Structure 1
Amino acid sequence: MKMLKRIRLFYIAPLMVLFLLACNKGENQNHAQNIQPVDVQIEIVKPAKFTVSIQVSGSVKAYEDAKLSPEEGGVIKEWKAKKGQHVKRGDVIAILNDDMIKAGYDAAEAQYKMAELNLEKQKEVYAQQGISELQYKNIQYTRDAARANADLMKARWERTQIRSPFDGVVDNTLPNEGEFAPPGVPITRVVNMSQIKIQTEVPEIDAGSISVGSDAIITFDAIPDLTLKGKVSFIGSTLSPANRTLMVEITLSSNHPKLKSDMMAKVKLPRETKSNALLVSENIIQLVDRDRAIVYVEKDGKAEERRLKLGARQGNKIDVLEGLRTGDRIIIAGYQKCINGTPVIVTR
């Protein structure tokens, strides 16, 4: 009897499992039929040109900029040029008190002339063998020493005149007339703004992607409506050990009267250009967790989840490296109501 019950249970159990599975399948089908389709809008994924740029901060620099200081200290005797005045190369900007140095130069020049005159007279005497060769050479050397001393005093006298090293504008004048100007301390500044350059620093990781001649776009917070173009004109040969950056200079293709030396600038340098990038608006990308970004595409009337690998950003567009293909019908509206497999109706 027990054996008969076991046999019956052996045959009945599989039948019960099949019955339960059939019931569950029917319930799932009914549930799927009860899901309401979601109205969505789509956009066809197409390849586009995409430029990955390096964005760094920089500062405006004059084409030529020099802070001038006296080599020898002295009292400011006269300012020959005022602040804001245009000067030419070689123009005297300031004169230091030169009374003593000028007197020393005049004395040295007189000694030289005396030595030169004595040499001319002794030349005839030497020709007539009136003096020895040694005596004549001594007279020559005395003349040469007097000439060297006169040249030295002239150089010291000329140093009391602060001259412009190039064409430009006098930007500052310190101290006032009558005040002492110590040696080596700047007393004026000359700036040549006829041509502008931007000086910036590029991180080490991006240093290999730029070269002399690369295009650059420059904007300024102080002048929001101004955008200028330029080209990389200089790339440093060494990295800064402090912040691992490389010095880069950009020459602007045009100038602007509102630009001032040391004004802050924002520099955009192209790092890489792709002709077939797949760009997606950042607004439709959903970040599920820190390393998982998804979008939904419409396929066969259903929403299909796609996990993306993201690249660089261009405005509000992001370059998709993996997860999408050309021709995909990406859902751009209504995706908030979708999960993987949700029925969808394309409304536009």
Structure 2
Amino acid sequence: MPRIRFHKLAAVVVLVGFAAWMLTGEFSSVGSVAANKAKAAEVEQGKTPDASKPKTGEAESKAPLRTVAVVMPPRKTYARAIRISGLTEADKRAVLATRVGGVIEKLPVKQGDHVKTGDLVLMLAAEEKISMVNNAKQLVAQRQAELDASERLAKTGNLPKLQLDTARSNLTLAQSQLDTAQAELDRNEVKAPFDGVIDRVPVELGSSVMQGGEVATILKLDPVIARGEISERDLRYVKIGDEADVRMVNDQTVKGTVRYISRDASSATRTFRVEIAIPNPDGTIPAGMTAEIALSALPTDAILLPRSVVTLGDKGDLGIRAVDKDNKVVFFPIDLVDDTPTGLVLGGIPAEARIIVAGQELVKEGEMVKAVDADQATIKKLLGEATAGTQ
């Protein structure tokens, strides 16, 4: 009989022992027995597990309320300011060109000259056309004399009516020829279409130009126009005739009037073109200068607050946090009326609202807080001394 090795015998013994332990069922109550013994000991001592620990709600109710500083800023009537970027441009701009080709014979203007409507800007050489006009004038004079003689003869009965009609027809034909010759001569002249200033003259006296060639640029700078784009949200606050302040890039500030508001929004930016007419009798404001346009809308009731008070609500809206009569945090979306160097002018905030100016970022809507009035130092720091003085 072969001998059983020791390690095999040990494995058999362990297997048999483990099977016997499982059959007793004690493994399922190892943790239970310990728990039951601990529970029995607590019952004997008159305590329960729940009694030894405070409830979660009770723990929270005993936590101290967060302290926030609040103010009730004075309310004033502010005119809504709408600021847009733009540039200046001429009220009218025309590029003058020749209607026929030829050599420049007269050029009485130069860059920077002021001209009136109908002033001669350029004339091409036209000797043959001048001669045609003179001949046509002589013919008209001859036909007029013939008609006068025919009318005298007709009154005495010495001229048939048919010959009188022929004389009248000859005069009409001669006048038509004169008008045609004069029109041909006028095509050699370029005249100012409106009052303005000559901005550019790209030709010289004696040079040759082709038909349709550019000979001068004329601008009308009184009034000068400040043009900008207004958002669709602010469009309802602006109307034609409103006054506007226009600040140039050189810090020159002038006043103007809204003369045009587009009714067709840009498809790319969803903004509307606005034109401000600015009196410019001496022409000191040039076209093409960068400008900031400030439009004043209807006055509204608002308050002045520092930028640091403005925060985001739970839904991502821009607004301020305040406390109600029960010291519960509430959130008010704001309506930005103006942005001034001393703070933001905000509308849409109830009159009784106590606005949180310190600790607003550490609380949330619906939370109970301990609201205390902000001290004078905080008010001056946040709202500025002028606003604090009205408290």
Class of the TM-score when normalised by the shorter of the 2 chains: 0.7 to 0.9
Letter in 2 for 1:218: V
Q: Measured at CA, do residues 172 and 183 of structure 1 come closer, stay the same or move farther in structure 2, by a change above 3 Å? A: same
- Counterparts of 1:273 and 1:174, CA distance in 2: 51
Matches within 5 A, 1:153-192: 153-192=181-220
- Counterparts of 1:229 and 1:220, CA distance in 2: 11
Task: Select 1:21's aligned residue among 54, 59, 72.
Answer: 54
Contact preservation (8 Å) 1:292, 1:308: no
Identify which range, 182-191 or 208-217, moves more after superposition: 182-191
The equivalent of 1:228 in structure 2 is 254
| 1:173 to partner: Cα distance | 1.1
Contact preservation (8 Å) 2:70, 2:371: no
| 1:141 to partner: Cα distance | 0.5
Contact preservation (8 Å) 2:108, 2:120: yes
- Counterparts of 1:303 and 1:144, CA distance in 2: 98
Contact preservation (8 Å) 1:280, 1:320: no
The equivalent of 1:259 in structure 2 is 285
The equivalent of 1:284 in structure 2 is 309
Matches within 5 A, 1:1-348: 17=50, 20-21=53-54, 25=58, 29=62, 32=64, 42-204=70-232, 206-221=234-249, 223=250, 225-235=251-261, 238-239=263-264, 246-252=272-278, 258-275=284-301, 277-287=302-312, 291-292=316-317, 305-312=329-336, 314-315=338-339, 316-317=343-344, 319=346, 321=348, 325-326=351-352, 328=354, 330-332=356-358, 347-348=375-376
Contact preservation (8 Å) 1:214, 1:232: yes
Aligned alpha-carbon RMSD (Å): 4.0
Larger radius of gyration: 2
| 1:72 to partner: Cα distance | 3.3
Contact preservation (8 Å) 1:294, 1:307: yes
2:258 counterpart SS class: strand
The equivalent of 2:28 in structure 1 is none
Question: Residues 236-279 of structure 1, C-alpha deviation per residue, up to 9 Å, x if partnerless?
Answer: 5x52675665554322256686521232322222344312x244
2:334 counterpart SS class: strand
Gap regions ≥5 residues in structure 1: 1-8
Could you tell me the percent identity over the aligned residues?
A: 19
Question: What count of residue pairs does the alignment treat as equivalent?
Answer: 328
Letter in 2 for 1:310: I
- Counterparts of 1:120 and 1:180, CA distance in 2: 46
Letter in 2 for 1:281: P
Contact preservation (8 Å) 1:70, 1:160: yes
- Counterparts of 1:255 and 1:126, CA distance in 2: 62
The equivalent of 1:6 in structure 2 is none
Letter in 2 for 1:267: I
Gap regions ≥5 residues in structure 2: 1-42, 377-391
Q: Measured at CA, do residues 320 and 231 of structure 1 come closer, stay the same or move farther in structure 2, by a change above 3 Å? A: closer
The equivalent of 2:10 in structure 1 is none
Q: Measured at CA, do residues 344 and 195 of structure 1 come closer, stay the same or move farther in structure 2, by a change above 3 Å? A: closer
Letter in 1 for 2:296: P
Letter in 1 for 2:189: Q
Q: Measured at CA, do residues 202 and 72 of structure 1 come closer, stay the same or move farther in structure 2, by a change above 3 Å? A: farther
Bigger relative contact order, structure 1 or 2, given CA contacts below 8 A and separation 6+?
1
Contact preservation (8 Å) 2:97, 2:214: yes
- Counterparts of 2:49 and 2:155, CA distance in 1: 144
2:90 counterpart SS class: strand
Contact preservation (8 Å) 1:60, 1:197: yes
